[in-house]
């Protein structure tokens, strides 16, 4: 199965419906991070070079009860207008009238942006009537919303199905994400090191098990490391442990052993006597005494992890090594980004918090690929066929 690409379609003069992921953080009407908008530009520009009949659609956040003005895509429309040097017309009400009727009222130098898809209950319900209102009358359906491709929502799933397979395709961001992540799951250059961290083993178990099929080393940090250490019989004080998930850890160790994957656990920590930003950082080597909790990996672990990372040809990282949001406990996480920046090979980062961490580190530009899809990239790496991607296959 192969992806149908936007370049495979003859778009000249045609009417195009484009699903984007313009779900950017907005505070008091100001966009905080434009990454998702700039990543959408290559596809938008490609289309506009061939046709002016374009409707763009995206969700924004998780609006409740039909949404409020704070959930409006209006600031995104204004930004797009500036970047595209065209008038971007935001249509708030397109569920009663079909979007194509609205598009037909526009002039040549105007493009259409639909208001937040999630203002309509039909979006998350994958409602077919709503899907008809979205895409009826269009010649082509392009999906470039990788970050939403794991959700079978109307604009991703039901709407795509209303056009025949030869009329739908993947945009450039979708292609870039799929290429980068596919290389991680199939045939990564060895040594391949996976770095897992973050909050819970139970959240990441499927990704870990799938990546154990191809990796040579797995470095475990973050809160999840304490469940691993506890399983090994090492005292972890009051660190966060998923006591009821020991069976998962056992499965991971068993699979790692049979696949000859080396699992590396932290040997020292930065601890605190309470879960608070203001708590003093106390270095601990080996077992953690009662009353202390591990909030970051220590300097010896940082060195050992960096050594493995620097010798790798492929590195995938998901999950911070500590509470990186607090400066005192962020060094471990930053040291991973720094070591990855030195790798002569492929480096891929996925996961919402990991992506903010790599941006915070200042080494983002040194990575081969930083995924724009948090949940979507992890589900992809679990080996799942994501519903939005499945519909873009030839």
Contact footprint for Mg ion (CB under 5 A): 352-353
Pairs from 10-13 (Cβ < 8 Å, separation ≥ 24): 11/47, 11/50, 11/51, 11/140, 12/50, 12/51, 13/50, 13/51, 13/53
Residue 322 bears catalytic tag = no
- Alpha carbons 20 and 219: distance in angstroms, whole number: 34
Residues contacting residue 107 through CB under 8 Å, at least 6 positions apart:
none
Minimal distance, residue 298 CB to ligand ADP, in Å: 12
Residue 375 bears catalytic tag = yes
36, 79, 168, 176: the catalytic one is 36
Residue 168 bears catalytic tag = no
Output the six-digit token pair for 154.
């109307």
Kindly state whether residue 223 participates in binding ligand ADP, applying the rule CB under 6 A. Answer: yes
Q: Nearer Cβ to Mg ion, position 115 or 353?
A: 353
200, 230, 245, 384: the catalytic one is 200
Q: Which of 52, 110, 182, 199 is in the footprint of ligand ADP by CB under 6 A?
A: 199
Kindly state whether residue 352 participates in binding ligand ADP, applying the rule CB under 6 A. Answer: yes
Q: Which of 23, 354, 372, 377 is in the footprint of ligand ADP by CB under 6 A?
A: 354
157 contact choice in ligand ADP, Mg ion, none (CB below 5 to 8 Å, kind-dependent): none
199 contact choice in Mg ion, ligand ADP, none (CB below 5 to 8 Å, kind-dependent): ligand ADP
Sign (positive/negative) of CA torsion 296, 302, 304, 306? Answer: positive
Q: Nearer Cβ to ligand ADP, position 171 or 320?
A: 320
Kindly state whether residue 206 participates in binding ligand ADP, applying the rule CB under 6 A. Answer: no
How do beta strands 314-318 and 192-196 pair? parallel
318 contact choice in Mg ion, ligand ADP, none (CB below 5 to 8 Å, kind-dependent): ligand ADP
Site for ligand ADP in 274-333 (CB under 6 A): 294-295, 318-320, 322-323, 325
Instruction: Give the total residue count for the chain.
Output: 394
Cα 375-378-382 angle, rounded to 5 deg? 135
Kindly state whether residue 353 participates in binding ligand ADP, applying the rule CB under 6 A. Answer: yes
Residue 53 bears catalytic tag = no
Kindly state whether residue 198 participates in binding ligand ADP, applying the rule CB under 6 A. Answer: yes
Q: Nearer Cβ to Mg ion, position 126 or 318?
A: 318
67, 345, 374, 375: the catalytic one is 375
388 contact choice in ligand ADP, Mg ion, none (CB below 5 to 8 Å, kind-dependent): none
Measured from each CB, the residue nearest to Mg ion is 353
Kindly state whether residue 236 participates in binding ligand ADP, applying the rule CB under 6 A. Answer: no
170 within 8 A of 143, measured Cβ to Cβ: yes
Q: Nearer Cβ to ligand ADP, position 45 or 62?
A: 62
Minimal distance, residue 312 CB to Mg ion, in Å: 24
Kindly state whether residue 266 participates in binding ligand ADP, applying the rule CB under 6 A. Answer: no
231 within 8 A of 250, measured Cβ to Cβ: yes
Q: How many CB atoms lie within 10 A of CB 64?
A: 9
352, 366, 374, 384: the catalytic one is 352
Q: Provide the binding-site residues for ligand ADP, judged by CB under 6 A.
A: 198-199, 203, 222-223, 240, 294-295, 318-320, 322-323, 325, 351-354, 374
Which residues form the catalytic set? 36, 200, 352, 375
């Amino acid at each position: 199965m192969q992806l149908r690409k936007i370049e495979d379609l003859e778009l000249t003069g045609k009417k195009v419906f484009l699903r984007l992921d313009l779900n950017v953080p907005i505070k008091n009407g100001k966009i905080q991070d434009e990454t998702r908008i700039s990543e959408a530009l290559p596809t938008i520009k490609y289309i506009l070079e061939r046709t002016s009949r374009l409707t763009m659609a995206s969700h924004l956040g998780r609006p409740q009860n039909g949404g409020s003005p704070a959930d409006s895509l209006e600031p995104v429309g204004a930004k797009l207008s500036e970047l595209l040097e065209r008038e971007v017309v935001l249509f708030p009400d397109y569920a009663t009238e079909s979007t194509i009727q609205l598009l037909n009222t526009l002039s040549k130098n105007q493009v259409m942006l639909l208001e937040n898809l999630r203002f309509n209950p039909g979006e998350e319900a994958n409602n077919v009537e709503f899907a008809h209102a979205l895409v009826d009358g269009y010649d082509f359906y392009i999906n470039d919303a990788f970050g939403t491709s794991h959700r079978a929502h109307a604009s991703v799933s039901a709407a795509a199905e209303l056009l025949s397979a030869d009329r739908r395709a993947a945009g450039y961001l979708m292609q870039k994400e799929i290429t980068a992540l596919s290389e991680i799951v199939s045939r990564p250059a060895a040594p391949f090191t996976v770095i897992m961290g973050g909050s819970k083993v139970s959240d990441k178990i499927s990704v870990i098990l799938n990546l154990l099929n191809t990796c040579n080393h797995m470095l475990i940090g973050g809160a999840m490391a304490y469940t691993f250490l506890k399983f090994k019989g090492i005292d972890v004080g009051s660190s966060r442990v998923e006591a009821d998930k020991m069976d998962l850890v056992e499965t991971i160790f068993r699979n790692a052993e049979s696949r000859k994957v080396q699992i590396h656990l932290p040997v020292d920590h930065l601890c605190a006597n309470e879960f608070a930003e203001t708590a003093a950082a106390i270095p601990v080597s080996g077992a953690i005494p009662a009353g202390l909790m591990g909030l970051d990996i220590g300097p010896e672990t940082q060195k050992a992890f960096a050594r493995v990372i620097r010798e790798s040809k492929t590195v995938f990282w998901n999950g911070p090594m500590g509470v990186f949001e607090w400066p005192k406990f962020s060094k471990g996480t930053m040291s991973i980004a720094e070591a990855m920046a030195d790798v002569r090979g492929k480096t891929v980062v996925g996961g919402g918090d990991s992506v903010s961490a790599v941006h915070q580190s200042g080494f983002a530009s040194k990575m081969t690929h930083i995924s724009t899809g948090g949940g979507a990239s992890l589900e992809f790496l679990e080996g799942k066929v994501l519903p939005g991607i499945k519909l873009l296959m030839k």
